[in-house]
Amino acid sequence: MSFASLRTSRRSKEARSFVKDTTAATKSESLSEQKEGHSSQPPYDVPDGPRAVQHGSGATRIQPLQVRKSAIAGRGAFTEVAHKAGSVVIAVKPHVNALSTPYLAEFCTNCSSPPKQSVKLKRCTQCRVVWYCENKCQAADWNVHKYECKALQKWEESAPSDARIPSDALRCLGRILWGFRIHGLDSEWTKAMNQLQSHRTSLPPSAYESYAHLAHSLIRYLEVESPIELEPYGIKSTADLVDVISRFTTNAFTLTSYTLDPIGVAVSPVAAFINHSCDPNAVIVFPRISDAPHTEEPKMNLVAIKPIAPEDEVTISYIDVTLPRELRQKELKETYNFECKCTLCSTQQHEDPRTAMLCPKRCGGIRPAPMNDSVSPPCKKCKATTANLDSELDAFNVGQEMLEKATTMQNADPEKARKLASRVIGIMVDAGLTPSCHPLLAVTRLYQELLIASLAESMTQAALDETIRTSARYVAGLTAVLPAGHPVRGVALAELGKLLAVDELSSPSDMDGSAKRFPPSGSARLKLAHETLVKARDELLIGFGTDNGGGLVGREVREAIVRLEKELGAWTQGIRNAMEDAKGRT
């Protein structure tokens, strides 16, 4: 059972994909074969040395944060100093992290970084499951992997063919328990993990089956045959085992790539002190600093996206805050067992962009979406109400149903999912949903991802332009919902800018030159790409940290801006030369 299947879809860090160069080297290669068996050293040629461990704090002070009772819920983290938007409040390495199975061969198991273009990942030659980017990462991970390596081999021997690799949740739990043994049950590392909140006594019945399945799988993974064999891990009863699982599922964060793609799971006791708000003043990101040693990664950065005054509580979002209130509350209750009472949830939002529709008479005003079959909210501007309430309700229902269906089939049948998403977008747009309205925003995001994936296989001018228009609609929707500087906005803008900068396949003279055409062509297209990327960089500097340079994605955007400026300069100079030549001939 994977981390994702244990919980409702947690989207505190939304799945986004920057438009990557398809020529980047991403293939991996095995290390040279080693002899059979396990030793006290890793199965590769690396220097001796203990693994560097980030110790959590069991105290009430985490500089520059203080943990104390919160008005929101239980304990919370409060800042002792002021922070500007873009300030990195804290940066810590998780106690434990694990990659999701599809990404084990694409990212380093220790630092969760992708390989550089000139370097290929190397696989452990004994378990043949985990991969590393360099010897230092292999050595740093060996204290834990020497236990994990044996467990993975034993698991493969008895697992069915479709489950030869344990899920990310199971592998992460295994690393937590091995951490207890490595550091000691009385260590600060273990104490910090055991201070995490458990909801064992208030688990809903719907969670019983998944918890039982994970508990049985964990016992099998650890090769435990009797309860007494769990005592070295600090587990003396069934309740203790359920507590470990509950602390993990309640406090784990989504491990993301530098462009916010979810690639695994991470647990940090320090970050777990930070409470949720649907209107947060900070975010947690993994910006990846290109000049940082890989053994210091992955590093969780708590970044302020709004000014935070001394003594203010620092909050983040545990879920996708582009969802309307009812869906946010449902997800928080099911996953984290609490009702959110933040300002966004407790204040009546008559003009919430998440549930906004166009005026039925298209007067330029908006109105709240109908929530049931008897109420038709009027337009805020002209007070008009819809005459087609049933069709509007159908559009919402069809949109949600098709979103779930297309999401399910996007990997198995992307072409069918793309056609389905395109069709349902048309239905919702015709019904009057605004770009920020759910589920139109979510379907637009999915459609964009499917279009970008298809470009790598077959790019035409029409397909590229459709991808750009979809990306622009997605950016417009996000802009209405998320604050400036939110990393999701920054990545979406970067994606749009890079799409606009892709070379046109048709020459401008062969295309419609209308001023109303979007996207434009020729120099106007390049100028728009430049403007979009500049705006993206401004937002990335906030969302991923100013001192981090906007993270690795911010640096990529800066390089793209420089390339565009050179191209625009060459374009302008070419026009000047042509005009001077024309003058010379007259």
Residues 167 and 122 in one domain: yes
Tens digit of each residue's pLDDT (9 = 90 or more) over 394-447: 999 999 999 999 999 998 999 999 999 999 999 999 999 999 999 999 999 999
- The domain boundary, picked from 295, 310, 336, lies at 336
Q: What is the pLDDT of residues 11-31, one digit of tens each?
A: 333 333 334 333 333 333 333
Of 268, 256, 214, nearest to 95 (Cα)?
Answer: 268
Query: Contact 385/395 with Cβ under 8 angstroms?
Result: no
Cis upstream peptide for 439 (omega within 30°): yes
Asked if 109 contacts 132 with a C-beta cutoff of 8 angstroms, the reply is yes
Residue recorded with tokens 């959110």? 340
By the 8 A CB rule, do 556 and 259 touch? no
Are 433 and 481 part of one and the same domain?
Answer: yes
The verdict on 418 and 527 lying in the same domain is yes
Tell me the C-alpha distance between 527 and 529, whole Å: 5
For residue 341, tell me if it sits in a domain: no
Among 311, 336, 361, which residue terminates a domain?
A: 336
Task: Assess whether 282 and 361 both reside in one domain.
Answer: no
Looking at 94-108, 117-131, 362-376, which range is the least confident one? 362-376
Please indicate, yes or no, if residue 408 is contained in any of the structural domains: yes
Q: Which whole number is the average pLDDT over 228-249?
A: 93
Residue 228, helix vs strand vs coil: helix
Is residue 344 assigned to a domain? no
Look at 304 and 573; give whichever has higher pLDDT: 304
Please say if the pLDDT value at position 518 is more than 60: yes
Angle of CA points 284, 289, 294, to nearest 5°: 105
**Model confidence at 531: pLDDT above 90:** yes
Provide mean pLDDT across the span 74-101: 93
> Within a domain: residue 542?
yes
- 346 falls within a domain: no
Name which residue leads in pLDDT, 44 or 415: 415
Whether residues 420 and 318 share a domain: the answer is no
Q: Within this chain, do residues 382 and 494 fall inside the same structural domain, yes or no?
A: yes
Q: Are residues 417 and 521 in the same domain?
A: yes
Looking at residue 553, its pLDDT comes to 96
Whichever domain contains 229, its CATH number is 2.170.270.10
Examine the domain organization and report whether 167 and 300 are in the same domain.
yes
Question: Does 386 share its domain with 304?
Answer: no
Confidence of residue 4 (pLDDT cuts 50, 70, 90): low
Alpha-carbon distance of 476 to 436, in angstroms, equals 7
Structure tokens, 237: 């009863």
Q: Are strands 356-358 and 253-256 parallel, antiparallel or unpaired?
A: unpaired
Whether residue 497 lies inside any domain: the answer is yes
- For the record, the structure tokens of 412 come out as 């198995």
The whole-angstrom separation of Cα 519 and Cα 60 is 53
Residue 317 resides in a domain: yes
The tokens for 407 are: 């999401």
Amino acid 12: pLDDT: 36
What pLDDT band is residue 448 in, cutting at 50, 70 and 90? very high
Give the CATH number of the domain where residue 437 resides: 1.25.40.10
Residues 401 and 357 both lie in one domain:
yes
Final residue before a domain boundary, out of 293, 311, 336: 336
Q: Tens of pLDDT along 50-62?
A: 222 333 333 345 6
266, 298: one domain: yes
Range scoring the smallest mean pLDDT among 161-170, 229-238, 407-416: 161-170
What average pLDDT does the structure give for the chain?
84
Residues 185 and 233 both lie in one domain: yes
Quote the domain boundaries for residue 476: 351-585
Note whether residue 9 is domain-resident: yes
Instruction: Give 8's pLDDT tier (boundaries 50, 70, 90).
Output: very low
Residue 476 has pLDDT above 90, yes or no: yes
Per-residue pLDDT band for 572 (boundaries 50, 70, 90) equals low
Q: Where are the alpha helices (DSSP H) in 64-134?
A: none
Reply yes or no on whether the pLDDT at 233 is more than 70: yes
Strands lying side by side in the sheet with 29-30: 29-30, 122-123, 131-132
Instruction: Give the pLDDT score at 54.
Output: 34
358, 308 contact by CB (below 8 A): no
The number of domains in the chain is 2
